[in-house]
């Protein structure tokens, strides 16, 4: 045992020494962190002006965009109006929105759809060639365009195809960001962990497009990569954040033990699905004039409340099997594999963490409070969503605002600049040494998800938020005992910091608003 321990110590020393000796500095014109709709569109826009590196901590398709079902909201029909889309967005967001940003989004909707079509996205069409559009929650007009029930996958596929064809774009998968390289409020690049090696990448500008933080919660629809990394990176870099208390819970995820939960798209209710108790009785009609199509926060709280006396189900048995198979082929098949027939069975549902309405503060161009640092998509706080996101505005936001970065090229440095950014010395251990910490990291993540679900979830109390604060701090102290650099440690560190920031924001908002709902008791 003593000999084995000595050998492990020597091997770790040699490993660390070699890493430090060969630590690389890389240079690109632009670095994009994240590979969803906002990140890939940013990369394609920037590739016209220089060499772009896209870094993503998993595979390029591991994004919330890939798993998005419902569609993308935009005014494309003659009898729809920009004013209507603006009004719906403001009402859903409880008028906590930035109206200027909302107006910009709505006006750019048709242009964004045309851009996706040019990328090769195949939206569903009617026999006359016009695009099919549907209702979703809180929309006053059926303006949601879709590609069956996996619109995000169609968009992701088109964008990835263009990225890989572009000679000016390089993609590094399985490469998590460690920290942004910032000095005196100017971003010079980002340090990443690539092949268990720390690499400092210097660039003219950096884009954060890392998505949301749904994996901070016990129940979520988000993919495993949605761990709040971008919010944590921005916080450590000194960027301004806002509206982190507004975490949107999707009302209808399939109720099952595993996570992430399978999402049952809002489009199901847009096509007439009911929410019922076990005996088939509807309850939303009593709670809101729009019934099942009420804003998401209203529906999520209603289901959460009804679950105290029994399960809640999605009922689409009044629709024909042929219609359901044609309109929702992927959902129909996925449910069938799980033992449910959408045309014959009640489908058990539960709310699940789904979308961050706040994030890194940006202007209409995606600029953050840190020079040469931009943020787009779910990680950004443009002010569009307010206290509660309007259904299917998310992919539109990611596309519209990330297209703005081209207008900022002239204000960026002409070439990357090396800056001596002071950093904490990182202990990069061998993979074999890290295996001993796996169980501890898994335990910390599981505890955090339960804390956030219980105390910083759909309904919150002042006492619960205080308890969450204390418990998160304890977990942060536990993580500090693991003095290594690995993708798991980086991710857990980011999860804990983002959870702390959400709890702090929730504690500071003393009254209920939108998705932030305070109660005297849960």
Residues marked as catalytic: 296
Angle at alpha carbon of residue 378, lines to 516 and 522, rounded to 5°: 20
Q: b/e map of 46-85 (b: 16 or more CB within 10 Å)?
A: bbebbbbbbbbbbebbbbbbbbbbbbbbbbbeeebeeebb
Neighbours of 25 (CB within 10 A): 12
Identify the three-state secondary structure at position 96.
coil
Q: What is d(CA 407, CA 44) in angstroms, rounded to the nearest whole number?
A: 14
Q: State the distance between the two ends of the chain, measured CA to CA, in whole angstroms.
A: 52
Phi, psi of 234 (to 5 degrees): -65, -40
Which residues face 241 on adjacent strands?
A: 360
Phi, psi of 9 (to 5 degrees): -65, -45
- Three-state SS string over 117-176 comes to HHHCCCCCECCCCCECEECCCCCCCCCEECCCCCHHHHHHHHHHHHHHHCCCEEEECCCC
The position carrying tokens 């709709």 is 37
Neighbours of 218 (CB within 10 A): 17
The position carrying tokens 């890194």 is 360
The position carrying tokens 């019934």 is 291
Is the CB of residue 231 less than 8 Å from the CB of residue 245? Answer: no
Quote the DSSP letter at residue 297.
Answer: H
Q: What is d(CA 209, CA 403) in angstroms, rounded to the nearest whole number?
A: 13
């Amino acid at each position: 045992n003593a000999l084995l321990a000595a050998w492990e110590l020597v091997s770790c020393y040699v490993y660390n020494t070699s890493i430090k000796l060969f630590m690389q500095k890389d240079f690109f014109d632009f670095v994009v962190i994240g590979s969803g709709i906002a990140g890939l569109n940013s990369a394609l826009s920037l590739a016209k002006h220089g060499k772009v590196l896209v870094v993503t901590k998993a595979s390029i398709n591991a994004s919330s965009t890939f798993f998005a079902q419902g569609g993308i909201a935009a005014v494309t029909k003659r009898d729809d109006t920009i004013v209507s889309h603006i009004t719906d967005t403001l009402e859903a967001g409880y008028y906590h929105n930035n109206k200027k940003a909302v107006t910009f989004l709505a006006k750019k909707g048709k242009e964004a759809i045309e851009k996706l079509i040019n990328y090769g996205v195949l939206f569903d069409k009617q026999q006359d060639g016009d695009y099919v559009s549907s209702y979703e929650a809180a929309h006053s007009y059926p303006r949601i365009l879709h590609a069956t029930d996996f619109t995000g996958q169609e968009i992701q596929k088109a964008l990835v195809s263009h990225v890989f064809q572009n000679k000016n774009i390089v993609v590094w998968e399985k490469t998590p960001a460690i920290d942004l390289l910032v000095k005196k409020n100017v971003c010079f690049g980002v340090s990443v962990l690539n092949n268990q090696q720390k690499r400092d990448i210097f660039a003219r500008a950096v884009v954060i497009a890392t998505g949301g933080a749904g994996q901070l919660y016990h129940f979520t629809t988000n993919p495993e990569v949605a761990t709040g990394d971008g919010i944590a990176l921005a916080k450590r870099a000194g960027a301004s954040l806002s509206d982190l208390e507004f975490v949107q819970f999707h009302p209808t995820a399939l109720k099952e033990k595993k996570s992430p939960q399978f999402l049952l798209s809002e489009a199901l209710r847009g096509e007439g699905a009911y929410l019922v108790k076990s005996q088939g009785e509807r309850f939303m009609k009593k709670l809101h004039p729009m019934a099942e199509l009420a804003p998401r926060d209203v529906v999520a709280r209603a289901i959460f409340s009804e679950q105290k006396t029994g399960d809640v189900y999605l009922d689409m048995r009044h629709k024909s099997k042929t219609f359901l198979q044609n309109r929702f082929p992927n959902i129909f098949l996925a449910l069938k594999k799980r033992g449910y027939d959408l045309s014959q069975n009640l489908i058990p549902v539960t709310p699940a963490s789904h979308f961050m309405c706040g994030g890194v503060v940006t202007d209409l161009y995606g600029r953050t409070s840190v020079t040469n640092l931009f943020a787009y998509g779910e990680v950004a706080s443009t002010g569009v969503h307010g206290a509660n996101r309007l259904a299917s505005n998310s992919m539109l936001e990611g596309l519209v605002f990330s297209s703005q970065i081209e207008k900022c090229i002239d204000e960026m440095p002409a070439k990357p600049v090396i800056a001596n950014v002071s950093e904490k010395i990182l202990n990069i251990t061998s993979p074999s040494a890290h295996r001993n910490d796996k169980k501890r990291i898994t335990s910390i993540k599981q505890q955090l998800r339960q804390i956030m679900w219980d105390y910083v979830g759909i309904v919150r109390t002042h006492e619960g938020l205080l308890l969450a604060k204390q418990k998160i701090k304890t977990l942060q102290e536990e993580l500090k005992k693991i003095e290594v650099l690995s993708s798991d440690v980086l991710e857990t560190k980011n999860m804990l910091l983002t959870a702390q920031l959400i709890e702090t924001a929730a504690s500071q908002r003393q009254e209920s608003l939108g998705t932030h709902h305070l109660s005297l008791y849960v």
